[in-house]
Structure 1
Amino acid sequence: MTVLADAVVVGGCLLSFASEVCPQDKQDVQGCLLYAELAANDKYPGQVSKKAWFDYYQGRLLKAGFILKAIVPSDKFRVSNVNQLLSISHTIIGRLGVERLAQLIEETYRVLKLDEFAWNFFRDNVANGGSGILKCAPCERLDSGDVVVCLYGLRYSTAVIEDDFFFWSEIDKEVVITPDGGVFAFNREVFENYRERVHEKIDAYSDKVLVQKLKL
């Protein structure tokens, strides 16, 4: 059974590690995700398609040593609470053959008690008719020694539902989710050739707090 050992917020991504992942791999995976976020922000500094931003983000990960193994299907779904979001996300990721990573996402949110925080974030944007993208990335080490990351992106937007019943109009709001991302294997050899570029990008932003370690 996968055991949550560590979790950090890297840029705008909730990154969690199973206990089998060694410290060096944790640091390198974290560096790749932060590099990808900074590079995508530089490429698209203003208002831009969230899909274009996320596609570029994933492209930087591939450059830095991530190898795509499976793609998250992009079928839209609607949720009205965090439990629905977690349940559907678990099913989606589990179908990719990485059930333990699906469990790790749920464990991360529940252990860190992020349910209320996450949904308040949604609701603040929903109330304003907002849209955006949330990212989470559970990471584990397989028995083969391979380190695997499931990058799970959630592009969200507001859906306003209006039901007319005689003279009574009931309005509710749901969040429409478009999942994105994939399952990646982390290639240490490729990353070694890219390590300098990754750290140059990160060091250029050394005056900003970009990584927040979360207490378990």
Structure 2
Amino acid sequence: MEKIIMSDTQQQIDSLSGGSSSVVMGSNVLSFLSGVSRQDQQFIKDSMRLAEYRADNLFNRKLEPARWFEFYSGVLWSVGWGLEHAPVIIADNDFSGAVLDVWAKSMSTLLSREKIKQMKETFQLLEYDVAGVEVFTDSTRKWGDFRFAPAQYNVHKELELVISNVRLINNEWVSTYLFWNITHGSAQLDIQSRRFVTKRREMDKYRDLLAAAVREFRVKEIELSLKS
């Protein structure tokens, strides 16, 4: 697995990260909120890699995004992640505006305002990293989708992960910040978000199995913050 760690503006990044760490992994943006161990960060990344790989083997994510994400969620369940409630779904076939604003509003039942704010700061970290932007946009334009995933321990000491699967189809890709703000022309926007929770014993049960399953996968990864 190729891994690139790069930060050209570390002082600005550190001031934003507040002790959290952020990673771009293909078309995934992950935010590990303060306290998530490196070992558990790796468990999350391995889980998402496997889920993406297996879902791609069965469904075309461009043509069947809902079925793709449902199967993706099922793969996470199969490696110890509990599915918390039904997914929150947003669908707009004539979208223009700020993708992140729509996403933030849809997260009101899944994330606190503070966690949404921290996730938005992760996108600022991405903006500072040229290599990260390149990896993320190349993958997103290839597949037409991307995922946001903040992770944290909850009050029960379980590992909690909220994954938003975002599908954005826009022929012109005109934007003011990466491609979050569609400034003219209509786009198709679909967001499916779901909370996943796992316990320590489940992670310990599946950790080695996951590591072996994804060992040969080559996914370019950019770490946006060196703080843990």
Classify 1:115/1:211 alpha carbon distance in 2 versus 1 (closer, same or farther; 3 Å): closer
CA contact (8 A) 2:61 2:143 kept: no
Distance 2:143 2:170 in 1: 7
Matches within 5 A, 1:198-213: 198-205=210-217, 208-213=218-223
Residue 150 (structure 1) aligns with = 162
1:143 is paired with a residue of what secondary structure?
coil
Distance 2:29 2:111 in 1: 21
Distance 2:56 2:40 in 1: 24
Residue 146 (structure 2) aligns with = 134
Higher relative contact order (CA 8 A, sep 6+): 2
- Normalised by the length of structure 2, the TM-score is 0.70
Residue 204 (structure 2) aligns with = 192
2:89 is paired with a residue of what secondary structure?
coil
Q: Does 1:109 align with 2:116?
A: no
Cα deviation for residue 149 of structure 1 reads 0.8
- Structure 2 portions without partners, runs of 5+: 1-16, 173-183
- Structure 1 portions without partners, runs of 5+: 161-171
Cα deviation for residue 61 of structure 1 reads 0.7
1:180 is paired with a residue of what secondary structure?
strand
CA contact (8 A) 1:74 1:178 kept: yes
Residue 180 (structure 1) aligns with = 192
Matches within 5 A, 1:74-89: 74-77=89-92, 79-81=95-97, 84-89=98-103
Cα deviation for residue 48 of structure 1 reads 4.9
Cα deviation for residue 104 of structure 1 reads 2.5
Classify 1:96/1:209 alpha carbon distance in 2 versus 1 (closer, same or farther; 3 Å): closer
Cα deviation for residue 31 of structure 1 reads 1.6
The share of aligned pairs that are identical, in percent, is: 20
CA contact (8 A) 1:32 1:198 kept: yes
**Computing the radius of gyration over CA atoms, which structure comes out larger, 1 or 2?**
1
CA contact (8 A) 1:12 1:135 kept: yes
CA contact (8 A) 1:146 1:186 kept: yes
Q: Give the partner amino acid of 1:95.
A: T
RMSD: 3.3
Question: Runs of at least 4 residues of structure 1 off by over 6 A?
Answer: none
Across the two proteins, how many residue pairs are aligned to each other?
Answer: 194
Classify 1:62/1:74 alpha carbon distance in 2 versus 1 (closer, same or farther; 3 Å): same
Classify 1:91/1:158 alpha carbon distance in 2 versus 1 (closer, same or farther; 3 Å): same
Distance 2:212 2:206 in 1: 10
- Normalised by the length of structure 1, the TM-score is 0.73
Classify 1:60/1:5 alpha carbon distance in 2 versus 1 (closer, same or farther; 3 Å): same
Cα deviation for residue 85 of structure 1 reads 1.4
Residue 92 (structure 1) aligns with = 106
Q: Does 1:34 align with 2:44?
A: no
Range moving further from structure 2, 24-33 or 71-80: 71-80
